[in-house]
């Protein structure tokens, strides 16, 4: 068993969302590179700073992998792919509903664009349809691509994310700070939109149709005021990524465009990636469209020319190549791969995807058909990539773009190995397409994260074998030899012998089984091979001695002791119809009757609740029953009796939820 203060404990009461007591009940736990387009002006390479010692990337020597990560379902990819087999018909319907000129969507699973669909025209007057090789302008999705270049320079020791931007771009010192002790703007501030810079620089085309020049942009910094202290909060800034493009050129010694071609587009085989519409091969450009007075789509001949600002939103790329880029992002997972690196190191790609700064939290009414009481969503920003977590999804990494009449959106779930994207060449709600694509994948039931699996389990397996030997035939010497000194101090032999006897009574003889859950090299949970019913055994080892620090079994498919069933019925009945005196007679003083009474009031809207079957009992003598109420989701009533089995000294009642939020 596990002792108080460890992972399992028997001294609390959780009623709905209320918590009482001091502990807690246990819980089941490369194509050739295309010719370069003309480059934007760059600073004199002689002005770049000397390489810096890259302390940020210093790590201990690698001694090998202790774990691997696998998808447990071998049919997962086939199931996910089947779930988007109707993509073309779906997109044609959505294209009509959105009144879009042209659309392209893609679904990536692991390393492959498994499904795509196109709708409408890349050039409506010419009656030319969109296809996989149609080239769209992706707007601000350029920012994560710029970030890949920054991180590659960091990994090469040529810059540091937490160094002041002024180390590489002295002109930034012209910006006025808010206070005399304001911290300097760092590269990390720029990457996470927390620099205090305004969204735009406020400069116009000063290069005769070639967009904003570098000299003009830097000159505009003189007298520009920050809007808040660097690092104090989040505010999206295109200007910040313009400055990052200039830093890339100065530190690398080559123009920004050239660096991206040589270090990102070339290695990844993104042959369609370009910065100018004129450089797109004939018959490939998805031209920008807008509706005329007769509600007919016409090509808008205007192209917004960015100049030095292109590092924040100027890239053109095909759907086929963007699918390859998204697969490369997903290829950063899992850690510890032996396959060769392509482009930026996997660890650095993972770093960019991780949430680094909280950006907001919202609670909104649930979407139509959603089971949740409300839709709660938290959002964050990593290194240019943004992300969110809500009731439906684990952390979703995303970025979108809007430039001229192009609208783009992309999202991926790194731990789940899936990504989606949507491109439009007219004003369209591509965010809706992204959400629906993710929902299609979720509805397959195959959207699950990788599981961590150990590469070496001999210590855990040996400890389990020792435990099962004592389980089968009690032997005091073997029992004492398998336990850590800490465990011996915390647990009485009599209690543990009784616990093992109870397991034998419920399950008969048990043999070693498969590992269900792996937490660390010292913590795991096994499903044992027993004569009857189901027994899972959680095992905890001492990190130093590798002896057993604790164990607890979880039994299912068994009957509850009569006294426990009677107590559970009484407790649930009193929550249905409150009786203060009867409740005080049922429970010990550990339980706060005020909290129980408050829950009874909350249950009035769904009462009565009826006690169902025993779902599980564990070695710490917690019993968990299903409770079905008149409305709402099922609940789990968990109950613990005191030593003489006369009074309840632990009680929980919690809704069963299929996700992160409470269900209706």
Separation of alpha carbons 104 and 106, rounded Å: 7
| DSSP, res 417 | T
Structural contact between residues 424 and 430, judged by C-beta atoms closer than 8 angstroms: yes
Q: Which residues of 435-466 are buried (b: 16+ CB within 10 A; e: fewer)?
A: bebbebbbeeebbebbebebeeeebbbebbeb
| Pure H helices in 235-316 | 238-252, 256-260, 266-268
Give the pLDDT score at 378. 95
Separation of alpha carbons 78 and 88, rounded Å: 18
* pLDDT 10s digits, 49-62: 444 444 454 545 55
Task: Choose among 493, 614, 467: nearest CA to 552.
Answer: 467
Give the pLDDT score at 161. 97
Tokens of 77: 């990819």
Q: Is the peptide bond before 334 cis (omega within 30 degrees of 0)?
A: yes
Tokens of 395: 């952390």
Give the pLDDT score at 645. 81
Select which of 42, 116, 140, 318 is catalytic. Answer: 140
Pairing of strands 12-15, 648-655: parallel
Low-confidence ranges of the chain (pLDDT < 70): 1-63, 203-209, 657-659, 664
pTM: 0.80
Residues 6+ apart with CB under 8 A from 277: 137, 285, 287, 303, 316
What's the 3-state SS for 50-105? CCCCCHHHCCCCCCCCCEEEECCCCCHHHHHHHHCCCHHHHHHHHHHHHCCCEEEE
195 is annotated as an active-site residue: no
Structural contact between residues 27 and 7, judged by C-beta atoms closer than 8 angstroms: no
DSSP H/E element including 399? strand 396-403
Tell me the chain's radius of gyration from C-alpha atoms.
Answer: 30
Q: N- to C-terminal Cα distance for the chain?
A: 36
Residues 6+ apart with CB under 8 A from 563: 641, 645
Pairing of strands 375-381, 386-390: antiparallel
Separation of alpha carbons 94 and 432, rounded Å: 9
Give the pLDDT score at 18. 34
Separation of alpha carbons 117 and 4, rounded Å: 57
Give the pLDDT score at 204. 61
Say how many residues make up the chain.
664
């Amino acid at each position: 068993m596990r002792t108080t203060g460890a992972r399992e404990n028997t001294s609390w009461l959780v009623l709905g969302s209320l918590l009482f007591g001091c502990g807690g009940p246990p819980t089941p736990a490369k194509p050739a590179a295309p010719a370069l387009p003309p480059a934007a002006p760059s600073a004199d390479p002689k002005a770049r700073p000397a390489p810096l010692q890259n302390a940020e990337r210093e790590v201990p020597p690698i001694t090998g992998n202790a774990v691997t990560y696998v998808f447990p379902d071998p049919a997962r990819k086939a199931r996910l792919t089947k779930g988007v087999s109707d993509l073309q018909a779906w997109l044609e319907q959505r294209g009509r509903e959105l009144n879009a000129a042209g659309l392209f969507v893609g679904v990536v699973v692991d390393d492959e664009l498994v499904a795509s669909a196109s709708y409408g025209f890349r050039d409506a007057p010419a009656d030319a349809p969109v296809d996989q090789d149609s080239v769209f302008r992706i707007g601000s999705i350029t920012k994560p691509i710029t970030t890949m270049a920054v991180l590659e320079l960091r990994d090469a020791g040529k810059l540091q994310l937490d160094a002041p931007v002024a180390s590489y771009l002295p002109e930034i010192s012209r910006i006025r700070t808010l206070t005399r002790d304001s911290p300097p703007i760092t590269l990390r501030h720029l990457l996470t939109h927390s620099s205090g810079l305004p969204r735009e620089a406020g400069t116009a085309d000063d290069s005769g149709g070639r967009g904003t020049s570098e000299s003009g942009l830097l000159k505009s910094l003189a007298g520009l005021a920050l809007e808040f202290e660097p690092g104090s909060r989040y505010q999206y800034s295109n200007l910040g990524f313009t400055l990052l493009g200039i830093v890339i050129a100065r530190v690398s010694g080559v123009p920004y465009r050239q660096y991206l071609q040589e270090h990102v587009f070339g290695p990844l085989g993104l042959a369609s990636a370009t910065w100018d519409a004129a450089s797109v091969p004939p018959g490939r450009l998805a031209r920008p469209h807008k509706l005329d007075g007769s509600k007919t789509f016409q090509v808008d001949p205007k192209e917004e020319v960015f100049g030095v600002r292109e590092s924040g939103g100027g890239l053109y790329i095909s759907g086929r190549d963007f699918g390859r880029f998204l697969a490369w992002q997903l290829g950063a997972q899992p850690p510890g791969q032996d396959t060769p690196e392509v482009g930026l190191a996997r660890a650095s790609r993972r770093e960019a995807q991780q949430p680094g700064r909280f950006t907001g939290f919202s609670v909104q009414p649930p979407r139509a058909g959603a089971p949740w009481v409300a839709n709660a969503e938290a959002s964050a920003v990593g290194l240019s990539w943004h992300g969110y977590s809500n009731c439906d999804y684990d952390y979703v990494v995303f970025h979108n773009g809007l430039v001229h009449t192009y609208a783009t959106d992309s999202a991926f779930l790194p731990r789940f190995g899936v990504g989606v994207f949507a491109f439009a060449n007219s004003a369209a709600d591509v965010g809706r397409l992204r959400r629906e694509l993710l929902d299609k994948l979720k509805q397959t039931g195959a959207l699950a994260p990788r599981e961590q699996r150990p590469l070496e389990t001999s210590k855990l397996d040996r400890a389990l074998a020792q435990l099962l030997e004592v389980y089968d035939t009690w032997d005091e010497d073997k029992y004492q030899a398998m336990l850590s000194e800490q465990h011996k101090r915390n647990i009485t032999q009599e209690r543990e012998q009784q616990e093992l006897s109870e397991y034998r009574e419920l399950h008969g003889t048990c043999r070693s089984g498969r590992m269900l859950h792996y937490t660390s090299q010292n913590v795991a949970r096994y499903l044992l091979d027993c004569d009857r019913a189901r027994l899972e055994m959680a095992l905890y080892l001492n990190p130093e001695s590798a002896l057993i620090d604790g164990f607890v079994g979880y039994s299912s498919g068994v009957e509850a002791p009569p006294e426990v069933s009677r107590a559970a019925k009484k407790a649930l009945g009193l929550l249905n119809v409150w009786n203060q005196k009867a409740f005080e007679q049922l429970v010990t003083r550990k339980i706060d009757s005020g909290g129980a009474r408050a829950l009874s009031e909350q249950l009035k809207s769904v009462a009565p609740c009826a006690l169902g079957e025993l779902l599980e009992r564990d070695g710490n003598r917690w019993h968990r029953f299903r409770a079905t109420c008149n409305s709402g989701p099922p609940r789990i009533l968990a109950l613990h009796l005191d030593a003489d089995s006369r009074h309840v000294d632990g009680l929980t009642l919690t809704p069963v939820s299929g996700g992160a939020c409470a269900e209706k």
